Amino acid sequence: MAVGSLAPPGQRFGCNLIVWVRLQRHLHMPQRSEIRVDFTRRRITLSAASLSSLWDRFLHLLGQLHIQHAPGICTAMQHG
C-alpha cells in the first residue's frame, strides 16, 4: 500500500510525501535521522536510503515538469 494520499499508480510513496520530504530538507536542513524521527512520530517507517530516494525522485519529477512546461513559459515571457 502506498504511503501518502497522492501516490502515482505503481509507486510506494505519494507525491505529497515526496514534496514534503524535499521541503523539509530544503527549508530546515535536518539530517536524515531527524526526518526519520519525525516520520516515526507520524507512524511512517522509512529508511535513510528511502529518504535519499525520495529526494532524488523529487528532483527527477521537477526536471520532468520543467522540460514539459519550459516552451510555454518562454512563449509567455516573450509576450509579456
Per the CB < 8 A criterion, the answer to whether 18 and 57 are in contact is yes
Residues 6+ positions from 12 with CB-CB distance below 8 Å: 2, 3
Which pLDDT tens digit goes with each residue over 64-79?
Answer: 888 999 999 899 999 8
Residues 6+ positions from 48 with CB-CB distance below 8 Å: 32, 33, 36
Per the CB < 8 A criterion, the answer to whether 2 and 11 are in contact is yes
Q: State the DSSP code for 3.
A: B
Q: In the predicted model, what is the mean pLDDT of the chain?
A: 81
Q: What is the mean pLDDT of residues 30-53?
A: 84
Which pLDDT tens digit goes with each residue over 42-51?
Answer: 888 888 888 8
Report pTM. Answer: 0.64
